[in-house]
Amino acid sequence: MFRLDNTSQNYDWGSAADIPRFIGTQPDGTPLAEIWMGTHPLGPSAVLLGAASEGAGSEGAVPLSDVAGDLPFLFKILAADRPLSLQVHPSSAMARAGFDLEEAAGVPLESAGRTYKDPHHKPEMAYALTTFDSLVGFRPTAEILRVLHGIESPLTQSLAEDLRANPGFDGIVRLVERLLTEDVPDSDIREVVSRCHDLVEQGIDIKRAYLTATEIADHFPTDIGVVISLTLNRLTLQPGEAAFLGTGIIHAHLRGMCLEIMASSDNVLRAGLTSKPLNPEGLVKCLDKGMSRLARVTPEPFGFSTDVFSPDVEEFALAVSQCSRAEPGGTLLPPAPRRIVVCTGGEVELVNASGQRLTLTRGQSVYAGPDDGDLHAVGMGEVAQAYTPTSDTVVGELIDLIPAFRERHLRRGRSDRGPSGRRRHP
């Protein structure tokens, strides 16, 4: 096992306090949006060597890729104080085509005008550490029409007429395309926001559409994304809940703190709510016709202390383990040849198959490779493991859980009986 030294991203939407508080450092007033754990070239982790890996001194570091190769997933700690950009991530086919086109055109990877930073798709999953709010996917046509009609502004009435004439996904996309390509006056956007404020003050809202528009307008008062937000579902995750966002799904995280795991990519097409370059035409082309395809991910148990969140993708899964002293031998983490483990609460000691021990406090992370074998987490706390699921992992979950349950049941039965074999009664 190796301790990780991870890359920080200071995007302007980040929180100045949340991640520093989480990892136990002093805030310096700079927004800290993300910590990247992985091998992506735009923010690679390093492994600490020798005494540094044991938590004492420093004997240098090497890139994680030197030890692990290229990991298929990117693991993040994310903290947002205000909305992120309105965005879509491309499919594998679109990412490859876009990357090859920009490579052939000689657009530098670090260029602000570069859209495709790598040739990979970017499905992702968010696991809430605090209450976490996002906009995800389009509302149904009928719901959008109710939202637009309720505002009673010339702009929203015109949009509603267009959508009524062409309902369904294609009509919604045309509506969004119109908003992104037309030069909508700032005064029209301000009027929509003002009407939303009035409706909220009167206690009138439709699934938080008007409230969301006013909250976004506090940061982007004349951004067309404020109007587009009226067409999108608002999703709130509570701590411990997770949601999967497939490629081609329009979304914007609003606020909160989460663990985010995704295919190892940084391909983003933006259309608003940001100071970064926009690519509205590319965003529209990437939209998925499956409407929102929003999925809250229901966890599966691994043993008695671990929830496994495994969406329908090859690159990643997330296992969250609650560790306690009730398991003196430690909590067995789901097996995986390559994994990153981060402590999300308390203090936990990781023990590998050869007996190596590393203590983690909140925010600290390690990489474990094939030679580490089974990992056990000992102590009082919580750890989250990012890994690539295998068929062996799933079979192991099914096989291991049944004997464990049977043994616990038998032990309980024996403890409830006296010397005669009869069950004791309180």
> Tokens 């259309």 — which residue?
271
* Ordered per-residue pLDDT tens for the chain, 426 residues: 999 999 999 999 999 999 999 999 999 999 999 999 999 998 999 999 875 555 544 468 999 999 999 999 999 999 999 999 999 999 999 999 999 999 999 999 888 888 998 999 999 999 999 999 999 999 999 999 999 999 999 999 999 999 999 999 999 999 999 999 999 999 999 999 999 999 999 999 999 999 999 999 999 999 999 999 999 999 999 999 999 999 999 999 999 999 999 999 989 999 999 988 899 999 999 998 765 555 789 999 999 999 999 998 999 999 999 999 888 789 999 999 999 999 999 999 999 999 999 999 999 999 999 999 999 999 999 999 999 998 655 433 433 333 333 344 334 343 344 433 433 333
List % helix, strand, coil for the chain (3-state, nearest 5): 30, 30, 40
Q: Please tell me the class of the 300-398 domain.
A: mainly beta
**Distance separating alpha carbons of residues 344 and 347, to the nearest angstrom:** 9
**Distance separating alpha carbons of residues 55 and 46, to the nearest angstrom:** 15
Domain ranges for the chain: 1-70, 137-233, 300-398
Return the number of other C-beta atoms located less than 10 Å from residue 278's C-beta: 20
Are 228 and 271 within 8 A, CB to CB? yes
Query: In sequence order, which residues have a C-beta less than 8 Å from that of residue 199 and are 6 or more positions away?
Result: 150, 151, 205, 210
Query: Hey, what are 166's tokens?
Result: 């062409």
**Distance separating alpha carbons of residues 231 and 214, to the nearest angstrom:** 14
> What are the backbone dihedrals phi and psi of residue 260, each rounded to the nearest 5 degrees, phi first?
-125, 130
* Predicted pLDDT at 399: 36
Three-state DSSP class for 19?
helix
* Predicted pLDDT at 329: 86
* Predicted pLDDT at 393: 52
Query: Hey, what are 340's tokens?
Result: 């990153």
Are 228 and 175 within 8 A, CB to CB? no
